Structure 1
Amino acid sequence: MGAEEFVPARAGLGKLRTAAASCRGCELYKNATQTVFGAGPADARVVVVGEVPGDQEDRQGEPFVGPAGRLLDRAFDDAGLDRSTTYVTNAVKHFKFVERGKRRIHKTPSRTEIVACRPWLDAELDRVGPELVVALGAVAAKALLGQDFRVTKERGKVLPMGERDQRVLATVHPSSILRSDDREAAYQGLVADLAVAAKALR
């Protein structure tokens, strides 16, 4: 189980995206509408890694196009980051969900599914070669920094990314802000973390 055999060696982002559409590295492809690969410029200074595509992303085939994506766009603007020059992707490329009536509710991917999908994320980071990676939420942060990493304790800090010669900053996922009881305070916390990222790039 794993995506490694589906990832073409030395391929650019376009060929990686095409190849990912046929990935069968885990069971999630069976129920998802399509693979949701990353999007953005190949020379982006920042790569944003989310957790897993949501309902709208699954339907449209693009990352961060739903409510959480729109909130992220606004937070980028408020933090002084240029969203148009950022590459965005997810740790897992297929939507995982449970059905409740006519609604499809996001479900957190398992550790096995995250590990299975990691070759795609590694390939994206290799091709883009960003100066900084921003991990949104616990799934993305643990995929990049290990199972013991806690976003609540280490958010907003620029850290080395283990074996990779890249830096990473972890923060909350925008979807958690949409669920927050104090949405404005949670949003300002995200903006503050992203402002640290913006400062690190200056």
Structure 2
Amino acid sequence: MEKFPGAEEWVPARGGLPKVAERLKDCRGCDLWEDAEQVVPGDGPAKARMMLVGEQPGDVEDKEGQVFVGPAGRLLDKALEAAGITRDSVYITNAVKHFRFERRGKRRIHKTPAVGHIVACGPWLAREREIVKPELVVVLGAVAARALLGTGFKVTEHRGEPVELPDGTAAVATVHPSSVVRSEEYRRDFGLFVDDLRAAGALLA
């Protein structure tokens, strides 16, 4: 596992989400800032009852500086609507705030963050959770599960089930929406994803 200094020294101890977004721009807690266009902060109301945590920004998010606005974000919007959840009522963020990729010609191909990146970025996610204080966290995919539930948790075995984060916060894990975008069984997998989001919404009802 690669060792990085971690984000602690950049994370503000006081202030709300705007302060977090402002300080994120200066973070040098790992090496991903060197190649990414920009950091991508979370988005949503500071008192959201539900927080969704994904993996990392993609190519579109890195260019636009906004969370979940690419193909996976459009699918997530559609799934949230189908599940009866409005996007502007939830706080959405990522476990890792910079885009990790490899170049193939002119294209930038997504590369899964290393454990070192997830650990280094952890203080940002912890601070977001301290500020928002969500009643429920929806864990989107394996990287978010690694960040919030540890290495032993398997999303495929527990998707849609009520679980608890180590601090006792209620959570539901599901796949990352990008896996549904790429699925050869799109209708089935989109339906299963919506079912998981509905299960999450039911826990707050």
Please classify the TM superposition score into its range, dividing by the shorter chain length.
Answer: over 0.9
What is the TM-score normalised by the length of structure 1? 0.98
* 1:165 positional shift: 3.5
Partner residue of 1:196 out of 172, 186, 199 = 199
AA aligned opposite 1:95 = F
Aligned to 2:173: 170
| 1:19 and 2:26 aligned | no
Counterpart mapping for 1:5-44 below 5 A: 5-44=9-48
Counterpart mapping for 1:126-137 below 5 A: 126-137=130-141
AA aligned opposite 2:100 = K
* RMSD across aligned positions (CA): 0.7
Report which stretch shifted further, 18-27 or 165-174: 165-174
| 1:180 and 2:192 aligned | no
> Matched residues in 1 for 2:139 and 2:6: separation?
22
* 1:85 positional shift: 0.7
The percentage of counterpart residues that share the same residue type is: 55
Aligned to 1:74: 78
AA aligned opposite 1:200 = L
What is the TM-score normalised by the length of structure 2? 0.97
AA aligned opposite 1:159 = V
**Displacement over 4 Å in runs of 4+:** none
Structure 1 residues not aligned, in runs of 5+: none
AA aligned opposite 1:36 = V
1:61-100 deviation digits (Å, cap 9, x = unpaired): 0100001001000100111112111110000000000111
* 1:11 positional shift: 2.0
Number of aligned residue pairs: 201
> Matched residues in 2 for 1:82 and 1:180: separation?
24
> Matched residues in 1 for 2:88 and 2:193: separation?
18
AA aligned opposite 1:22 = D
AA aligned opposite 2:182 = R
AA aligned opposite 1:116 = A
* 1:192 positional shift: 0.5
For the residue of structure 2 that corresponds to 1:29, the secondary structure is helix
* 1:166 positional shift: 1.2
Aligned to 1:154: 158
> Matched residues in 2 for 1:103 and 1:84: separation?
31
For the residue of structure 1 that corresponds to 2:163, the secondary structure is strand
AA aligned opposite 2:93 = T
* 1:37 positional shift: 0.7
> Matched residues in 2 for 1:187 and 1:29: separation?
33
* 1:180 positional shift: 0.9
